[in-house]
A and B are shown apart, each in its own frame.
Chain A
Amino acid sequence: MSARPEPETHVAETEKDDAHWTAQMIAVGAARDRAAFEDLFRHYAPRIKAFLIRTGLAPPVAEDCMQDVMVTLWRKAHLYDPARASVATWVFTIARNRKIDMIRKTRRPEPEDLTWGPEAEPSQADVVAMRQESARLAQAVAELPERQRDLVQRAFFGEATHSEIAAATGLPMGTIKSRIRLAITRLREAMPEGTADRDRDGT
């Protein structure tokens, strides 16, 4: 491989925050920035692999799946919408879907995608607000009493049943939901005419 461009800034891993990962993701999406992608890889690949192992994949399978996820991240980077999800959330959904598709050998049904209209894009204020709400939720998860955090983890790692999942309370889900709801409304307003659902009244 020829000399790869070094990242412009050398920031210690611990100092990299959500804003950093958002910027790197956008650099990959907008400019096909390989250095930014390598940075994302070094941070997320080990976490994706750990997550996949935790949900029951054997380590070699998790390794293959993780590599597919990272390639997908590169290919779909231009679709990443920072007003609707943090990078961690987006990575999580790609990893989850890839794992299910591998197991089922067919594509998992996903909700219809909402996309920005040709003239529109998210406002910086919305992007920052989304990031802050995501960080707040992550903080709340980290601060949960151990027993409750364990329940939430068990739910996500497939070790709990539906009714047990309902016990995943005590998290401020209302605010993140409101923030995402707002982003969806903005998207609906920005979508080109004729793509709205036939019964939708636009509210």
Chain B
Amino acid sequence: MSIRHPIGDDLLLGFAAGTLPAAHDLVVATAVSLDDDARARLGGFETLGGALLEQADAAPVGDDALTAVLGRLDEEEDMAPPRRICGGIFPAPLQDAVGGDLAAVRWRPVGMGARQAVLHRSPRGTARLLSIPAGQAMPDHSHRGTELTLVLTGAFRDGDLRFARGDLQVADASTEHRPTAEPAEDCICLVVTDAPLRFAGLLPRLFQRFLGI
């Protein structure tokens, strides 16, 4: 699978450093699961983190800390297994957020055949799944903050650009964009915003109020 619009280094570095909001962590973890080159770039930034840790000044740690840790080594504790490749439509981190694969999503209509499912909402960012019917445009909208759209199934076009599974579109406040799903199948995306979307038309704006887009 070739990724034409890969996730950028700024997000990967933020993820490596652990400074991103939770909603953004979800889109990065999902994108990296679909793009081995991004995984390698992330690994590079994590190596940088390791170098900084290695070079950090040591803080005082007492022998009692070592004793306490040694005393815990034999404790039985539920250790969640590491996430493995799950082979589903959604990569593992997204399945964790949904509580299952595509079939487990609890969709709600947002008008014009589009559906959404909010996965995470906090003041710093919202993560939602968005399903755009085949051949249809996402409701016209702009936004105050940055919008990250990761394609999971299907593909959409925006102007001259095509975005398919694993591609990430970054739209900032000045972008009045209009993603249109390709006619072959519905396009399902993970969309992360750091400020509420604003839809251009009156009706969608009402939807926005009721549905918390």
A→B interface (CB under 8 Å): 1, 34, 37-38, 41-42, 44-51, 53-55, 59, 62-63, 66-67, 70-71, 74-76, 79, 84-93, 95-97, 99-100, 104, 106-115, 133-134, 137-138, 141-142, 152-153, 155-158, 162-163, 165-166, 168, 171, 173, 176-178, 180-181, 184-185, 188, 191, 194-201
B→A interface (CB under 8 Å): 1, 9-11, 13-14, 16-19, 22, 25-26, 28-30, 32-34, 36-37, 39-61, 65-70, 72-73, 77, 79-80, 82-89, 91-94, 96-97, 165-166
CB distance from A169 to the nearest CB of B (A): 10
A112 touching B84 by the CB < 8 A rule? yes
B59 touching A62 by the CB < 8 A rule? yes
B85 touching A196 by the CB < 8 A rule? yes
B10 touching A165 by the CB < 8 A rule? yes
- If over half of A's interface residues share one DSSP class (helix, strand or loop), that class is named, otherwise mixed; here it is helix
- Cα(A89)–Cα(B18), bound, Å: 14
B84 touching A197 by the CB < 8 A rule? no
User: Which 6 pairs across A and B sit closest by C-beta, in order of nearness?
Assistant: A89-B50, A46-B58, A88-B50, A138-B51, A181-B40, A180-B43
Q: A158 contacts which chain B residues (CB < 8 A)?
A: 17-19
A201 touching B48 by the CB < 8 A rule? no
- Cα(A141)–Cα(B52), bound, Å: 8
- Cα(A85)–Cα(B14), bound, Å: 19
A66 touching B61 by the CB < 8 A rule? yes
- If over half of B's interface residues share one DSSP class (helix, strand or loop), that class is named, otherwise mixed; here it is helix
Decide yes or no: A51 and B85 within 8 Å by CB, A41-B69, A92-B46, A156-B17 being known contacts: no
CB distance from A120 to the nearest CB of B (A): 15
A152 touching B52 by the CB < 8 A rule? yes
B59 touching A141 by the CB < 8 A rule? no
- Cα(A50)–Cα(B9), bound, Å: 26
Residue of A nearest to B40 (CB): A181
B36 touching A188 by the CB < 8 A rule? yes
Q: B51 contacts which chain A residues (CB < 8 A)?
A: 88-89, 134, 137-138, 141-142
